[in-house]
Amino acid sequence: MKKVVVSLGGSVLIPSLPEHRLAAYASVLRRIAGHAALSVVVGGGGEARKYIAAARDLGLDEAFADEIGIMVTRLNAMLLAGALGDAAYPVVATSQAEACAYGASGKIVVMGGITPAQTTDAVAAVLAERSGAALMVNLTSVDGIYTADPRTDPAARRLERLTPAELREIVGTGSLRAGANMVIDMVAARVIERSGIPLLVIDGRDPLHLERALLTGKYQGSLVSEGGRDPLPIA
Ligand code: UTP
Protein backbone atom coordinates (compact mmCIF):
# COMPACT_ATOMS: atom_id res chain seq x y z
CA MET A 1 0.00 0.00 0.00
CA LYS A 2 1.20 3.50 -0.79
CA LYS A 3 1.89 5.88 2.08
CA VAL A 4 -0.15 9.06 2.36
CA VAL A 5 0.44 11.81 4.90
CA VAL A 6 -2.59 13.98 5.65
CA SER A 7 -2.28 17.42 7.20
CA LEU A 8 -5.69 17.77 8.78
CA GLY A 9 -6.19 21.43 9.62
CA GLY A 10 -7.49 22.09 13.10
CA SER A 11 -9.81 24.67 11.57
CA VAL A 12 -11.35 21.79 9.61
CA LEU A 13 -11.35 19.00 12.21
CA ILE A 14 -12.10 21.07 15.32
CA PRO A 15 -13.04 24.64 14.35
CA SER A 16 -14.15 24.82 17.98
CA LEU A 17 -14.80 22.03 20.45
CA PRO A 18 -18.61 22.17 20.22
CA GLU A 19 -18.54 21.91 16.40
CA HIS A 20 -15.97 19.22 15.63
CA ARG A 21 -15.91 16.69 12.77
CA LEU A 22 -14.11 13.94 14.71
CA ALA A 23 -16.64 11.14 14.17
CA ALA A 24 -17.10 11.96 10.46
CA TYR A 25 -13.32 12.02 9.89
CA ALA A 26 -12.81 8.82 11.87
CA SER A 27 -15.22 6.94 9.56
CA VAL A 28 -13.64 8.29 6.39
CA LEU A 29 -10.07 7.62 7.57
CA ARG A 30 -10.98 4.06 8.60
CA ARG A 31 -12.34 3.39 5.11
CA ILE A 32 -9.29 4.89 3.37
CA ALA A 33 -6.94 2.88 5.60
CA GLY A 34 -7.93 -0.22 3.63
CA HIS A 35 -6.34 1.32 0.52
CA ALA A 36 -3.40 3.44 1.76
CA ALA A 37 -1.04 3.55 4.75
CA LEU A 38 -2.14 6.73 6.49
CA SER A 39 -0.44 9.19 8.82
CA VAL A 40 -2.53 12.12 10.00
CA VAL A 41 -1.04 15.34 11.40
CA VAL A 42 -3.69 17.32 13.25
CA GLY A 43 -3.74 21.12 13.58
CA GLY A 44 -4.75 23.33 16.48
CA GLY A 45 -7.95 24.97 15.20
CA GLY A 46 -9.95 27.59 17.06
CA GLU A 47 -9.01 26.33 20.51
CA ALA A 48 -5.29 26.76 19.75
CA ARG A 49 -5.95 30.32 18.61
CA LYS A 50 -7.70 31.10 21.91
CA TYR A 51 -4.79 29.73 23.95
CA ILE A 52 -2.27 31.58 21.78
CA ALA A 53 -4.24 34.84 22.20
CA ALA A 54 -4.26 34.34 25.99
CA ALA A 55 -0.47 33.80 26.00
CA ARG A 56 0.01 37.02 23.99
CA ASP A 57 -2.29 38.94 26.35
CA LEU A 58 0.07 37.92 29.13
CA GLY A 59 2.99 39.41 27.17
CA LEU A 60 4.55 36.00 26.55
CA ASP A 61 6.84 35.57 23.55
CA GLU A 62 5.89 33.95 20.23
CA ALA A 63 7.92 30.79 20.91
CA PHE A 64 5.99 30.32 24.17
CA ALA A 65 2.73 30.81 22.28
CA ASP A 66 3.91 28.22 19.74
CA GLU A 67 4.55 25.69 22.54
CA ILE A 68 1.01 26.26 23.76
CA GLY A 69 -0.26 25.78 20.19
CA ILE A 70 1.67 22.49 19.93
CA MET A 71 0.02 21.21 23.10
CA VAL A 72 -3.44 21.94 21.68
CA THR A 73 -2.58 20.16 18.40
CA ARG A 74 -1.62 17.11 20.48
CA LEU A 75 -4.88 17.25 22.42
CA ASN A 76 -6.77 17.37 19.11
CA ALA A 77 -4.65 14.48 17.80
CA MET A 78 -5.45 12.46 20.91
CA LEU A 79 -9.17 13.01 20.37
CA LEU A 80 -8.84 11.80 16.78
CA ALA A 81 -6.83 8.73 17.84
CA GLY A 82 -9.58 7.96 20.37
CA ALA A 83 -12.29 8.38 17.74
CA LEU A 84 -10.39 6.03 15.39
CA GLY A 85 -10.21 3.35 18.08
CA ASP A 86 -8.52 0.13 16.93
CA ALA A 87 -7.71 1.59 13.51
CA ALA A 88 -5.15 4.00 15.02
CA TYR A 89 -1.87 3.46 16.80
CA PRO A 90 -2.99 4.25 20.35
CA VAL A 91 -0.25 6.77 21.20
CA VAL A 92 0.06 10.25 19.65
CA ALA A 93 3.54 10.56 18.12
CA THR A 94 5.58 13.47 19.47
CA SER A 95 8.52 13.22 17.04
CA GLN A 96 9.14 12.22 13.44
CA ALA A 97 11.06 9.15 14.61
CA GLU A 98 8.13 8.00 16.73
CA ALA A 99 5.71 8.57 13.85
CA CYS A 100 7.85 6.43 11.52
CA ALA A 101 8.17 3.71 14.15
CA TYR A 102 4.44 3.67 14.88
CA GLY A 103 3.75 3.43 11.13
CA ALA A 104 5.37 -0.01 11.12
CA SER A 105 2.35 -1.25 13.13
CA GLY A 106 0.18 -0.90 10.03
CA LYS A 107 -2.24 1.31 11.99
CA ILE A 108 -3.12 4.92 11.24
CA VAL A 109 -0.49 7.15 12.85
CA VAL A 110 -1.77 10.32 14.51
CA MET A 111 0.33 13.26 15.63
CA GLY A 112 0.23 17.01 16.24
CA GLY A 113 2.94 19.68 16.28
CA ILE A 114 6.57 19.15 17.19
CA THR A 115 8.65 22.30 17.35
CA PRO A 116 8.07 26.11 17.49
CA ALA A 117 8.07 28.49 14.52
CA GLN A 118 6.25 26.22 12.10
CA THR A 119 2.82 24.70 11.63
CA THR A 120 1.50 21.17 11.41
CA ASP A 121 1.74 21.46 7.60
CA ALA A 122 5.53 21.52 8.00
CA VAL A 123 5.36 18.53 10.34
CA ALA A 124 3.33 16.68 7.71
CA ALA A 125 5.73 17.61 4.88
CA VAL A 126 8.74 16.37 6.86
CA LEU A 127 6.90 13.18 7.81
CA ALA A 128 6.05 12.62 4.13
CA GLU A 129 9.75 12.97 3.34
CA ARG A 130 10.90 10.78 6.25
CA SER A 131 8.43 8.01 5.56
CA GLY A 132 8.77 8.00 1.76
CA ALA A 133 5.13 8.94 1.18
CA ALA A 134 3.65 8.88 -2.32
CA LEU A 135 1.50 11.92 -1.54
CA MET A 136 0.81 14.62 1.03
CA VAL A 137 -2.72 16.00 1.31
CA ASN A 138 -3.44 19.31 2.98
CA LEU A 139 -7.04 19.55 4.19
CA THR A 140 -7.88 23.17 4.80
CA SER A 141 -10.85 25.52 4.81
CA VAL A 142 -10.35 26.79 1.24
CA ASP A 143 -10.56 24.69 -1.90
CA GLY A 144 -6.97 25.08 -3.02
CA ILE A 145 -4.10 27.46 -3.52
CA TYR A 146 -5.03 30.91 -4.83
CA THR A 147 -2.96 33.65 -6.40
CA ALA A 148 -4.01 35.85 -3.42
CA ASP A 149 -6.22 35.42 -0.33
CA PRO A 150 -9.70 34.64 -1.75
CA ARG A 151 -11.35 35.87 1.48
CA THR A 152 -10.06 39.41 0.98
CA ASP A 153 -9.15 39.70 -2.72
CA PRO A 154 -11.99 39.26 -5.25
CA ALA A 155 -9.45 38.94 -8.09
CA ALA A 156 -7.86 35.85 -6.46
CA ARG A 157 -7.70 32.85 -8.81
CA ARG A 158 -7.44 29.16 -7.86
CA LEU A 159 -4.46 27.34 -9.37
CA GLU A 160 -5.38 23.78 -10.35
CA ARG A 161 -1.80 22.73 -11.08
CA LEU A 162 1.44 24.30 -9.95
CA THR A 163 5.05 23.36 -9.49
CA PRO A 164 6.77 23.29 -6.07
CA ALA A 165 8.79 26.37 -7.07
CA GLU A 166 5.59 28.28 -7.88
CA LEU A 167 4.14 27.23 -4.51
CA ARG A 168 7.22 28.57 -2.72
CA GLU A 169 6.89 31.91 -4.50
CA ILE A 170 3.23 32.27 -3.48
CA VAL A 171 3.92 31.28 0.12
CA GLY A 172 6.95 33.59 0.30
CA THR A 173 4.77 36.59 1.07
CA GLY A 174 3.18 35.09 4.25
CA SER A 175 3.89 35.87 7.92
CA LEU A 176 5.18 33.49 10.63
CA ARG A 177 3.37 34.57 13.80
CA ALA A 178 1.93 31.92 16.12
CA GLY A 179 -1.54 30.94 14.91
CA ALA A 180 -1.02 32.65 11.54
CA ASN A 181 -3.59 31.42 9.05
CA MET A 182 -2.04 30.51 5.68
CA VAL A 183 -2.92 27.66 3.36
CA ILE A 184 0.58 26.23 3.86
CA ASP A 185 3.70 27.56 5.57
CA MET A 186 7.12 28.28 4.07
CA VAL A 187 8.88 25.38 5.81
CA ALA A 188 6.30 22.98 4.38
CA ALA A 189 6.61 24.53 0.91
CA ARG A 190 10.41 24.13 0.97
CA VAL A 191 10.26 20.51 2.13
CA ILE A 192 7.67 19.71 -0.55
CA GLU A 193 10.02 21.23 -3.11
CA ARG A 194 13.16 19.39 -2.03
CA SER A 195 11.46 16.01 -1.54
CA GLY A 196 9.54 16.11 -4.83
CA ILE A 197 6.52 14.56 -3.07
CA PRO A 198 3.27 15.70 -4.71
CA LEU A 199 0.96 17.84 -2.56
CA LEU A 200 -2.81 17.97 -2.95
CA VAL A 201 -4.65 20.89 -1.33
CA ILE A 202 -8.41 20.44 -0.96
CA ASP A 203 -11.29 21.74 1.13
CA GLY A 204 -11.55 19.49 4.17
CA ARG A 205 -14.78 20.91 5.55
CA ASP A 206 -16.49 17.92 3.98
CA PRO A 207 -14.51 14.78 4.97
CA LEU A 208 -15.82 12.94 1.88
CA HIS A 209 -13.64 15.17 -0.32
CA LEU A 210 -10.56 13.30 0.96
CA GLU A 211 -12.04 9.87 0.28
CA ARG A 212 -13.19 10.84 -3.20
CA ALA A 213 -9.82 12.39 -4.12
CA LEU A 214 -7.74 9.43 -2.91
CA LEU A 215 -9.95 6.61 -4.15
CA THR A 216 -11.36 8.02 -7.39
CA GLY A 217 -8.95 10.83 -8.28
CA LYS A 218 -11.82 13.36 -8.44
CA TYR A 219 -11.38 16.60 -6.55
CA GLN A 220 -11.65 20.36 -6.65
CA GLY A 221 -8.39 21.78 -5.40
CA SER A 222 -4.74 22.34 -6.28
CA LEU A 223 -2.12 19.73 -7.14
CA VAL A 224 1.50 20.70 -6.59
CA SER A 225 3.86 18.43 -8.50
CA GLU A 226 6.94 18.47 -10.68
CA GLY A 227 6.41 17.99 -14.39
CA GLY A 228 2.63 17.58 -14.09
CA ARG A 229 2.95 14.24 -12.22
CA ASP A 230 -0.45 13.09 -10.98
CA PRO A 231 -0.43 10.41 -8.26
CA LEU A 232 -4.22 10.18 -8.00
CA PRO A 233 -6.13 7.99 -7.44
CA ILE A 234 -3.82 6.53 -4.83
CA ALA A 235 -5.26 3.03 -4.50
P1 UTP B 1 -1.43 24.80 13.15
O2 UTP B 1 -1.21 26.15 12.60
O3 UTP B 1 -0.75 23.73 12.47
O4 UTP B 1 -2.95 24.48 13.29
O5 UTP B 1 -1.00 24.80 14.69
P6 UTP B 1 -4.18 25.24 12.58
O7 UTP B 1 -3.91 26.70 12.56
O8 UTP B 1 -5.37 24.79 13.28
O9 UTP B 1 -4.13 24.70 11.11
P10 UTP B 1 -5.11 25.19 9.96
O11 UTP B 1 -5.15 26.70 9.99
O12 UTP B 1 -6.43 24.62 10.25
O13 UTP B 1 -4.47 24.66 8.70
C14 UTP B 1 -1.45 25.79 15.59
C15 UTP B 1 -0.29 26.60 16.13
O16 UTP B 1 0.58 25.75 16.91
C17 UTP B 1 1.92 26.15 16.75
C18 UTP B 1 1.91 27.40 15.86
O19 UTP B 1 1.79 28.54 16.69
C20 UTP B 1 0.62 27.20 15.06
O21 UTP B 1 0.13 28.40 14.54
N22 UTP B 1 2.73 25.04 16.18
C23 UTP B 1 2.14 23.95 15.61
C24 UTP B 1 4.12 25.09 16.27
O25 UTP B 1 4.69 26.07 16.76
N26 UTP B 1 4.87 24.03 15.80
C27 UTP B 1 4.31 22.94 15.25
O28 UTP B 1 5.05 21.99 14.86
C29 UTP B 1 2.90 22.92 15.13
What confidence score (pLDDT) does residue 227 get?
87
Q: Residues 67-112: pLDDT tens digits?
A: 999 999 999 999 999 999 999 999 999 999 999 999 999 999 999 9
Q: Is the pLDDT of residue 57 over 80?
A: yes
Q: Does residue 234 form part of some domain?
A: no
Atom of ligand 1 nearest to the CA of 140: 13
Q: Does residue 213 form part of some domain?
A: yes
Predicted TM-score of the model (pTM): 0.95
Atom of ligand 1 nearest to the CA of 114: 28
Q: Residues 144-173: pLDDT tens digits?
A: 998 877 778 888 889 999 999 999 988 886
Exposure string of 152-171, with b = 16+ CB inside 10 Å and e = fewer, is eeeeeeebeebebeebbebb
Mean pLDDT of 193-200: 97
Q: Is the pLDDT of residue 114 over 90?
A: yes
Mean pLDDT of 182-206: 93
Q: What is the mean pLDDT of the chain?
A: 93
Q: Does residue 233 form part of some domain?
A: no
For residues 139, 142, 143, 149, the Cα torsion angle rounded to the nearest 10 degrees is: -130
Residue 196 in contact with residue 132, Cβ under 8 Å?
Answer: no
What confidence score (pLDDT) does residue 207 get?
98
- Which residues approach ligand 1 with their CB closer than 6 A? 9-12, 43-45, 48, 52, 65-66, 69-70, 73, 113-116, 118-120, 123, 140, 178-181
Q: How many domains does the chain have?
A: 1
Which domain does 59 fall in, by range? 2-228
Q: Does residue 139 form part of some domain?
A: yes
What confidence score (pLDDT) does residue 170 get?
86
Q: Is the pLDDT of residue 235 over 80?
A: no
CATH number of the domain that residue 123 is part of: 3.40.1160.10
Q: Residues 129-143: pLDDT tens digits?
A: 999 999 999 999 989
Mean pLDDT of 214-229: 94
